[in-house]
Structure formats: structure tokens, C-alpha cells
């Protein structure tokens, strides 16, 4: 096995990396919501070139309290959204008093949070998406998020399957009621 070495003498002055170095995340796009929008969409100008993606949602809140944050998938650049999504999540109240799980089948979205409340508190999440550009494999992923509802803090984690072998070329985030009024949505390609 070959040893990979850097081309410069110290890490503070590295100007290039040898072949085989550089796996990781590549930031593709970021959108910051500062006034009400119904949907936040990453379309085919963003969802291209990688088989796996990572989304970061920071301080996302909606105008309606409570509302559920959802993620949807499209194979035609957002003209229509799939109705073949199964997902499962578990939630834990941070102080341990309220825990549970939910299972959803044949929906048109992934349920990321249930009854997110306390607008302006914001919700934070990391979502990993696999096989989005594949035309032979179904898509799947998992997520972890935290938010505040009725003065209690919750952690959610879950997984989902998008039952299509057609490549996904758009993602849409929205609330079950009301608009998104704040938050930063970023998407990264996973370079392997």
C-alpha cells in the first residue's frame, strides 16, 4: 500500500493535495430564509453530480405554531412530488418524560418534526441522503434534529425510503401549515 504524503512542508502552507486526498463534503448551495416563504427548494441545478448528499438546517422556524416540517422528493425538477415515501422516527424529550415513535407509509413527504412550536426558537437538523442520482437503486436516508415544543426540548431521529429507481433532481422543504419564516438550509455533496 502506498503512503500518501503532502507536497509541502507544513500543514499551514499546503497548496495542493496528492491524488486520493480530499474525500469529504463539498458545499453546493445554501439558502437563508429571512422573510416568509411557502417552500424552500433545491432543484436540478443543485441535485446533480453526487450519489450522496448531506443537508444542514439551522434555526428553521415557521409562522404557524404548531406545524410539522416536511421534506419532499421530485424526479421532474419540482413539477410533481413523489407519493411513495415511507419513514419512521423516534422522539425523546430531553428531560426524558415524553418518548415515542411514529411510522408513516406511502406519504408524499418525510415527516421531519411533529408539532414544532415556539416559533423563533428554531429547529436544527442534519439529513443524510443516499443514491439520489441512481437510476437503478431506491433512495434512502436518515436524519437527526432537535427543537423546542411547548417549553420542552426534543430530539428526533429517523430514517426513510423513497420507493423509486428514477433519479431524484429536486428536494422541497415546507411546513404542514403556514410558511417558513426563518432558517438556513445548506446542501453538501459527499465526495468519496
Identify which of 191, 185, 166 has the alpha carbon closest to the alpha carbon of residue 55.
185
Query: Given this model, what pLDDT does residue 10 score?
Result: 46
Can you tell me which residue has the cell 441535485? 47
Query: Given this model, what pLDDT does residue 120 score?
Result: 61
Can the peptide bond before residue 97 be classed as cis, meaning omega within 30 degrees of 0?
no
Identify which of 159, 7, 5 has the alpha carbon closest to the alpha carbon of residue 85.
159
What mean pLDDT is predicted for residues 47-67?
89
Identify which of 59, 79, 38 has the alpha carbon closest to the alpha carbon of residue 169.
79
Query: Given this model, what pLDDT does residue 71 score?
Result: 95
Can you tell me which residue has the cell 421530485? 74
Pick the CATH number of 22-191 from 2.60.120, 1.20.120, 1.10.3470, 3.40.1350: 2.60.120
Can the peptide bond before residue 110 be classed as cis, meaning omega within 30 degrees of 0?
no
pTM, to two decimals: 0.84
- In this predicted structure, the answer to whether residue 153 has a pLDDT above a threshold of 80 is yes
* Domains of the chain, residue spans: 22-191
pLDDT, tens digit (0-9, with 9 covering 90-100), for 117-148: 555 678 899 999 999 999 999 999 999 999 88
C-alpha span between 188 and 56 (Å, rounded) = 8
Amino acid at each position: 500500500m502506498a503512503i500518501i504524503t503532502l507536497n509541502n512542508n507544513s500543514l499551514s502552507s499546503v497548496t495542493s493535495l496528492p491524488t486520493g486526498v480530499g474525500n469529504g463534503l463539498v458545499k453546493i448551495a445554501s439558502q437563508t430564509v429571512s422573510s416568509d416563504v411557502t417552500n424552500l427548494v433545491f432543484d436540478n441545478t443543485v441535485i446533480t453530480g453526487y450519489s450522496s448528499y448531506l443537508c444542514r438546517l439551522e434555526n428553521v422556524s415557521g409562522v404557524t405554531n404548531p406545524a410539522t416540517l416536511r421534506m419532499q422528493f421530485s424526479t421532474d425538477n419540482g413539477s410533481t412530488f413523489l407519493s411513495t415515501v415511507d419513514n419512521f422516527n423516534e422522539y425523546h424529550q430531553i428531560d426524558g418524560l415524553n418518548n415515542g415513535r411514529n411510522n408513516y407509509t406511502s406519504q408524499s413527504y418525510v415527516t421531519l418534526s411533529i408539532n414544532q412550536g415556539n416559533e423563533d426558537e428554531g429547529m436544527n437538523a442534519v439529513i443524510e441522503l443516499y443514491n439520489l442520482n441512481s437510476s437503478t437503486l431506491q433512495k434512502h436516508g436518515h436524519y437527526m434534529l432537535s427543537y423546542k415544543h411547548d417549553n420542552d426540548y426534543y430530539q428526533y431521529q429517523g430514517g426513510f425510503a423513497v420507493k423509486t429507481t428514477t433519479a431524484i433532481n429536486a428536494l422541497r422543504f415546507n411546513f404542514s401549515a403556514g410558511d417558513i419564516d426563518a432558517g438556513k438550509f445548506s446542501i453538501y455533496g459527499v465526495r468519496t
